[in-house]
Amino acid sequence: IRAWDRSKPLLFCPAMNTAMWEHPITAQQVDQLKAFGYVEIPCVAKKLVCGDEGLGAMAEVGTI
């Protein structure tokens, strides 16, 4: 991201295990990206690759 042309929009789509998503450091990192003006496409709740059910799945392609 450091080499990103800041005149262009940057969208990010987080995806991870629910425990990782709910960790306070993740919230700080997402907040920092938003502070830079980047746009979050939020993750969604569903069955994750790890087998857990919960928040952390990447948004659907149509949403992205």
> Pick the catalytic residue: 28, 42, 50, 60?
50
Q: For residue 43, indicate whether it is catalytic.
A: no
Determine the distance from the C-alpha atom of residue 8 to the mean position of all C-alpha atoms in its chain, rounded to a whole number: 19
For the chain, the domains span 11-57
Distance CA 64, CA 8 (A): 17
Predicted pLDDT at 62: 93
**39-40 and 11-12 beta bridge pairing:** parallel
pLDDT mean values, one per 10 residues, the chain (64 residues): 91 96 98 96 94 94 92
pTM of the model: 0.85
